[in-house]
Structure 1
Amino acid sequence: MDEQKSTVRAVERALDIMLCFTDATELSLSEIAKRISLHKSTVHRLLASLESKGFVLRDSQTDKYRLGFRVWELSANLTHSDDPATILLSEMERLREVLGETISLYVRDGLERIRIQAVQSNQAIRRVAPIGARMPLAVGASSKVLVAFDERTVLESVLADPNWPENVNRQGYQEQLAEILQLGYAMSVEERELGAAAISAPIFNRNGKLVAAVAVSGPSNRMTTEVMKEFAEPIMEAAKRMGKMLK
């Protein structure tokens, strides 16, 4: 039993190492060890195993690690037939051309939202949205959409989250969700990031199930509250079109 637990723990640690590369292209042994709070000798052994299987590569000149080609081999076999990130890309590009700002697609994963697709604005000063970024559900337009339009149990879990930010009032948060349900969209100004604003709408599939949230984001000095209200109708119409494309 102890050997089985040890094996499972080793797998968990190896996966933790892989997840370090969700927001970094290259990392040193020390950086990885710090991120996952493990001794460097342990991390080195795990990296050696991952390297032998082709999941990470080590640059002999910089002594830094990056993802290996085996990861791309696996991703090539992903099923795209029901993948919102693939199916909705054309509609996201269409919305970007209409509104001129960055378009993002989010889904809820537990008590976080994750950006699964993004179409960057063509403007010189724009909101850069990296794919794979994870954010809490307590702040941000898309977070509130993903909670407001989902089942009540999701809201209960979010409110009970021990990592709930101290500067966010739970009662005020619930009142905002009630208003979002009436409006059909959510707006946020510098809630999560200084100088950034966003408006988001829910995407329901053909069965009426909440699948994702589409968001338009940009600099807050350009995306004022008045401008975002003008964006509301186009983004909600786009969300409806997107929903009809999903099973």
Structure 2
Amino acid sequence: MSDSSTGAGRLFAVLRQLAAGEKQGMRLKDLAAAVDLPRPTAHRLLHALMAEGMVEHDPRTKLYRLGLELFVLAARAGSSMNLRDLARPGLLRLTAALGETIFLMVRNGFDAVCIDRSAGPLPIRSFTGDVGGTVMLGIGQAAMAILAFLPDAEQDEVIRYNLPRMRALSAFDEGFLRAEMARVKAQGFSDGAAGLIPGMAGLGVPILGRTGEAVAALSVGSTTDRMTPERNKVIADLLKREAADIGLRLNPFDPALRRPGAAIMG
């Protein structure tokens, strides 16, 4: 490799290879072979990058992957607009147009976390409460919208993990969840879960990343009497329009979207 003869060149070669490899990460022997370096040299470079937060190591799988600090730097260099910045005008437009409370949710492992909220005039109770609140994927409109638009393998993993956590909600079993996911995927929005919080209802749409899978969601929280089938269609169209606009402008280096377990409150 033409740029690997210097220390800096070798470091960048390692980073480029990690970026080009599997998103789960690479083992030391595979990485060393890919960048044509002796294993001890690759190991030393990886530990130097780990010390700066540019690379992370999973001791369980022995995989190395790009670190959070690298994504933070890239986000600052590439764009000052993170997900909350991008979505905020849309949240305000939706609240003004609908007179409802609007939530911005992002996936965080097996949960969804609220990272922004635009309050409407009505008092609303929700699973997440205010900014920073979390809810299991599959519970509530936004979290169901995210789950329905994940890859099949990730959906299976989420269901296996979350079903035992849902025991308090007796209406939820695997058959119900899978049927609801299929329905939401087909119509493009989630309008179920009415009645889980007495008097409350809502509607959620996914925000899709460049690969077509959900990374976040927009949702409306309202009262059951206001969420009629006719009005739901209007609400869904407005939310889909805003979600599509946000999706087109997502910064791929935004730390909140880096991977399922890395939602960051900024």
TM-score calculated relative to the size of structure 2? 0.58
Asked if the contact 2:147/2:214 (under 8 Å) is kept, the reply is no
CA distance change for structure 1 residues 175 and 124 in 2, over 3 Å: closer, same or farther? closer
What is the aligned partner in structure 1 of residue 214 from structure 2? Answer: 210
Asked if the contact 1:200/1:215 (under 8 Å) is kept, the reply is yes
1:154-191 CA-partner distances (Å, limit 9, x unpaired): 21122212323343121121011111111111112435
What is the aligned partner in structure 2 of residue 98 from structure 1? Answer: 97
What is the aligned partner in structure 2 of residue 239 from structure 1? Answer: 243
Asked if the contact 2:101/2:118 (under 8 Å) is kept, the reply is yes
Distance, in Å, in 2 between the alignment partners of 1:211 and 1:137 is 12
The alignment-based identity, stated in percent, is 25
Distance, in Å, in 1 between the alignment partners of 2:122 and 2:94 is 18
The letter of the residue matching 1:155 is Q
Greater RCO, CA 8 A, separation 6+: 2
The letter of the residue matching 1:153 is A
Asked if the contact 1:186/1:199 (under 8 Å) is kept, the reply is yes
Q: CA deviation at 1:245?
A: 2.1
Which secondary structure does the structure 1 equivalent of 2:226 belong to? Answer: coil
CA distance change for structure 1 residues 241 and 193 in 2, over 3 Å: closer, same or farther? same
Q: CA RMSD in A?
A: 2.3
Distance, in Å, in 2 between the alignment partners of 1:146 and 1:108 is 7
Q: CA deviation at 1:210?
A: 2.5
Asked if the contact 1:140/1:191 (under 8 Å) is kept, the reply is no
Asked if the contact 1:107/1:212 (under 8 Å) is kept, the reply is yes
Q: CA deviation at 1:126?
A: 4.2
Listed as ranges, the matches of 1:24-63 within 5 Å are: none
1:181 and 2:185 aligned: yes
Asked if the contact 1:185/1:199 (under 8 Å) is kept, the reply is yes
Structure 2 residues not aligned, in runs of 5+: 1-74, 252-266
What is the aligned partner in structure 2 of residue 163 from structure 1? Answer: 165
Query: In the comparison of the two structures, how many residue pairs are matched?
Result: 169
TM-score calculated relative to the size of structure 1? 0.62
Which secondary structure does the structure 1 equivalent of 2:96 belong to? Answer: helix
